[in-house]
Structure 1
C-alpha cells in the first residue's frame, strides 16, 4: 500500500481543499479545524473518519502529534481582510481575521511539517494586507529582518475634531468613559449608513423606532458639558424631532454624523489598547491619527518561515482556477513551502488548460438545464433522481458521480427580481437594467458591483463563485437563480458531495470553498516532491541495511570458521 502523508487542515470550511488532497489518494487528513457549525456538519458528513475541531486558537498541536504521530503537511486558507482603515465607514480598525494568519503560522511552527500549502484571496500579497506592530512582535520582526514602515491609522476627520480629542484617545480610561455600548452605537449607525438613500433611511427609522425611542431619553438627558455629551444630546434630539414631525428626514444626517464619527474614533482607539498595538505617536493636524509601525502579512510569513531555525523554501503565485480545469476564472493566492532538507526548490503546478481551452458554464451545468430545482430543504431531503444523460461533457461526466442530485435548491424569486431576470441577457448585470428597474433596491445603485444580477454565459467560464444567492446570479437560459448544486458544479464539487445547513449557509459554503480540481493539482505536485525524497531515503537506508547485514554475515562466518582450524 502506498504511503499516505498525514495532514492537518486549518480553516477547512466545507472541505474543498481537503477533497482535492484526498482525491490524489496520497494523503490522509487527520484533523480539520472549522469554527462554523454548518461547515463542520458538511465537512464531517463528506469526510468521515476525520477528527473535526472548532476554534483554531485553542488548538493543542502537541496533543495531535501524541495521538496521530508526526504531521507531514499543513493546509488551509486563513481569512485575511487587510486594513479596515482602507474603509473609514467601518467601525473597526483592526481586522481580527488578520490574527488568524498568525494562528496558521503557529500551526506550522509547532508542528514543523515537511510541507505546507496556504491559500487565500489574490490580494494577500498586496500592501493592503498588513499587521500593525504589537507588543511581542518587535523581537521577531528585528531578528527576521521583516521590512517595517510607518502607517497612519485614521481616527477622526478634521471636520469633527474638538479640543481634547487627542488626550482622550491616549487614555484607555477616558475612552471607556465616553464609549457607548455597542448596541446603542449600532442603532444610530444604521440610520447614518442609510442616509444616502432617503427612502431607505425612512424605512430604517420606522424599523428601529422602538429601540431608538428607548435611547432618546437616555442620551438627550446625558449629563456633562463636554463636547462628546453635547453632540450625543444633539444627535438623539434630532431623532426625537423627526419622530415628533418637526425635523425632515434629509436633515438628520448632519445632526447625527458628529456623534457617529466620535464613537468610531473611540472604538478604534480602544482596539489599539485591546490589541496591544504599539503607537509611536498620536498626530493631530488636518485630522487625528495614530502613527503605528506595520509590516506586510506575506513578508511576516515568508521571513519567519525561511529563517534558519524553520528552514522552509517558499514559493507563491496567483493561480487562476480555469487553468486547472475549473469552469470559473477564480484567482487565488497560494503559498507553498517545503523543508529545505527535502528539496532546495519548490514551485506550484502549471495549469494544463490554455485560455482557448477553458471549460465553460455549459460544461459544468448544461446537463442539469431541464431538471427543475426545488425551493425548500424539506423537498431536497430525498434529492432528485437523475435521469440518464447522453453526450455529457468531460467535466459533467466526472462531477455526475451520484444517481441522486442533492442541493439543487433555489430561493423563490420576488416579482421585482423576476422582472430584472427577464430583462437581462447572458453576460449582462444590474448596470445593464433600465433605470426604472433599479429603484427600490441598493443604497447606492451606481456603486453596485458588476457581479450583482449577473446572467451567466453558457459558452464561457463564470467569474469567481461567491455567495451567488446574495449576488443574484441568473441561469444562462432560465429566469431563475443559480442553484446551490449548480454553484457547486462551477466550483468542481462532485454531486456526491452534499452540503448541509440553511440555504444561505449552503450557498456561503460553496462560495467560500477552494475548487477541489485546483487543490488536487497542487496536492499531486507536492506529493511528487515528497515521494521523491522519501524514495531516495528508503533506498539509502536499504543500502546501509544491506551493508550492515553483509558485514554481520561475514563476521558470523569468520567466528564459526576459526575454531574448526
Structure 2
C-alpha cells in the first residue's frame, strides 16, 4: 500500500437516514464520518450503532451545518454527501392538496451546506426522476439574489387554486391577504375530518363509516359553520355544508351530502394553498380568475439551481450528473438513483460518473441475496428481532453475494408482518412475479378502488431475478418468493446489500422504512471508490512524520 492510499478522507453526511450511503464509503476503508445530520430518532440510533462516530457528532437539524460554530468544530471537510428528500417539488404533492412543501428547502440547504463547508467534493443522490423538468422550485423572495448572481434560468409557471365554477367576485382580494385567508380557513382537524368523508363519496359503506368515526368533530364543525354570520360566498358554502351534516346526524339524510360539502372542501384547499404561497414567500406576479383561479409565478428546475450555483467560477466545482442502475454495480434489485457528483476544479477539470460493469444476464438475483435464509423462520415480534437468532456460519453453496452479506453468526431484524387470514388467502393465490392485480375480484374487496392499486402491492418476488426498487416493503406487502408470508426486514436489507452485521433500530415500521429509504451500500461503495481515483492523484506535500496534508491543509486522516 502506498503512502498516498493510506489517507482517510473525511465525510459530512446530510439527510443521513440509517446511513447506507456513508456505510458504503466506510466499506472502502478510506473514509471516516466527521458528522451526520438526521432528524428521525430511530434512524439516528441505527446510524450510531453501525458507524464509528460519537453521539456528539450526530445532529438532528441540517440547519446546524450552516452555523459558524459547527464549521469551526468540523474543520476541513473532504466530501459532503447526502440525499435530500424530493417529495416536495412542485408536481409531487397535488394529491395531498399542497402547492409547496418544506422539502423544497432541503435541496437548497444541501447546496448551501456545500458552499458553507467548501469541501473538495460532494455527492447528492435522489430518485431518477430528479432529472425531469417537472421537478421544479417555485421562485421565492429568498431566491431572487441567487437568480441574479448565478444566472439561474426561470420559467413562467402556474399554481392552480380553484375550478372556475367556484370562483366568485372578490376572491383575489381574499387570497392576496394573509389575514383574510386565515379568517376563512378552518382548523386542520376540521378540514381533515370532512375531507375523509368526501374522499369516500364513491363507497356508501365507507362513507357512513367515516361519518360515524368523525361524528364528534363533524357535529362541532357543523354548529360552527351554521353560527357564522355573513353572506360571503365562502360563508354561504360553509353554511350549506353544516346544514347537510346536521341533516345526516339528525335525520340520517345522506343523499346529496357529498355534493353539498364539495364546494367547501375545494374552497378550503384553495385557501390552504394560498396561505402556503404567502408563508413560503413565493413571488406571485398576478392572480387570474377569468377561468380557473390561478397564481402566476416563476419556477426553476432543481438541476438548474444546483448546477448554476455550484459550477459558478466563484464556487469552483465541476459537476457530472446522471442515473445509475444499482443492479449494474452488484445490487440484486433494479433500483435507479440520480446522482450529482462534484469536485473542485483545481483537483480535476472534469469528473465522470462511475460505470457499472455487470451486464443484465449476470445481474444478482433475489435468491443470491436471501436464498440462504429460506429455512430461518422470521418472528413477528420486533423485540425478538432485536435480540436476533443464531444462524452459524454461511452454508455450503451460498452465492458470492450471499457470502459477503452473511458476515454475522447472529441474524438480527429477521422480523416480518403478522399474516392475517385474508392476507394469507391472497399470498396463496399469487405466484412469483404476480401482484394484487392478479387476484380474483372477491380477494380485492377491502380496497375502495382496486384498479388504482400500484403494481408493487402484494408483489411476490421472483427468485431468479433482481427485485424491483425496495421501498417500505411492509406497506407494499411484498411476498417471499416461496413462502406464504411477508418479506422480513432482514431480507429487505439483504436486497439493499446491507450485511447481517448492520443492525437496524426502532419500531418495526421504522426499521422497514429505514431499509426502504436507504442507498444500497454496494452502490455507495462503488461511488466512493470512484471518488478516490480523483482525490488520490492530488499533489501532496509532507506535513509531519505521521502523514500527508494537501495544499488546502486538509485534516484527512491516515491509517495507523
TM-score range, shorter chain: over 0.9
1:445 equivalent in structure 2: 450
1:560 equivalent in structure 2: none
CA separation in 2, counterparts of 1:245 and 1:102? 54
Within-5 A mapping of 1:51-450? 51-84=57-90, 88-248=94-254, 251-388=256-393, 389-441=395-447, 443-450=448-455
How far is the alpha carbon of 1:175 from its aligned partner? 0.8
Structure 2 residue 58 is matched with structure 1 residue 43: no
Structure scoring higher RCO (CA < 8 A, sep ≥ 6) equals 2
Residues 166-197 of structure 1: per-residue CA shift (max 9 Å, x gap): 22111222111111111211111121122233
Structure 2 residue 516 is matched with structure 1 residue 511: yes
State the secondary structure of the residue aligned to 2:36. Answer: strand
Structure 2: which 5+ residue stretches go unaligned?
Answer: 546-560
State the secondary structure of the residue aligned to 2:303. Answer: helix
CA separation in 1, counterparts of 2:122 and 2:94? 35
State the secondary structure of the residue aligned to 1:123. Answer: helix
CA separation in 1, counterparts of 2:70 and 2:173? 48
After superposition, the Cα gap between the structure-2 partners of 1:281 and 1:71, relative to the gap in structure 1 and judged at 3 Å, is same
How far is the alpha carbon of 1:60 from its aligned partner? 4.2
1:473 equivalent in structure 2: 478
TM-score, L = length of structure 2: 0.93
Structure 2 residue 494 is matched with structure 1 residue 497: no
How far is the alpha carbon of 1:47 from its aligned partner? 1.1
How far is the alpha carbon of 1:89 from its aligned partner? 3.7
TM-score, L = length of structure 1: 0.92
Which deviates more from structure 2 when the two are superposed, residues 286-295 or residues 197-206?
Answer: 197-206
Residues 445-497 of structure 1: per-residue CA shift (max 9 Å, x gap): 11111000000000000000000000000000000000000000000000000
Q: Tell me if structure 2 keeps the 8 A contact 1:85–1:153.
A: no
After superposition, the Cα gap between the structure-2 partners of 1:130 and 1:274, relative to the gap in structure 1 and judged at 3 Å, is same
After superposition, the Cα gap between the structure-2 partners of 1:137 and 1:381, relative to the gap in structure 1 and judged at 3 Å, is closer
2:540 equivalent in structure 1: 537
How far is the alpha carbon of 1:23 from its aligned partner? 0.4
After superposition, the Cα gap between the structure-2 partners of 1:92 and 1:360, relative to the gap in structure 1 and judged at 3 Å, is same
Counterpart of 2:530 (choices 497, 521, 525) is 525
Structure 2 residue 7 is matched with structure 1 residue 3: yes
Q: Tell me if structure 2 keeps the 8 A contact 1:85–1:154.
A: no
Structure 2 residue 492 is matched with structure 1 residue 487: yes
How far is the alpha carbon of 1:62 from its aligned partner? 3.0
1:17 equivalent in structure 2: 21
Q: Report which of the two structures shows the higher radius of gyration computed on alpha carbons.
A: 1
How far is the alpha carbon of 1:541 from its aligned partner? 13
CA separation in 1, counterparts of 2:456 and 2:92? 22
How far is the alpha carbon of 1:139 from its aligned partner? 2.5
Q: Tell me if structure 2 keeps the 8 A contact 1:325–1:517.
A: yes
Q: Tell me if structure 1 keeps the 8 A contact 2:91–2:135.
A: no
How far is the alpha carbon of 1:245 from its aligned partner? 3.6
Count residues with an aligned counterpart.
539
After superposition, the Cα gap between the structure-2 partners of 1:84 and 1:235, relative to the gap in structure 1 and judged at 3 Å, is farther
State the secondary structure of the residue aligned to 2:33. Answer: strand
CA separation in 2, counterparts of 1:61 and 1:109? 12
After superposition, the Cα gap between the structure-2 partners of 1:183 and 1:381, relative to the gap in structure 1 and judged at 3 Å, is same
Which deviates more from structure 2 when the two are superposed, residues 277-286 or residues 87-96?
Answer: 87-96
CA separation in 1, counterparts of 2:376 and 2:544? 58
Structure 1: which 5+ residue stretches go unaligned?
Answer: 543-565
CA separation in 1, counterparts of 2:20 and 2:382? 22
How far is the alpha carbon of 1:295 from its aligned partner? 0.4
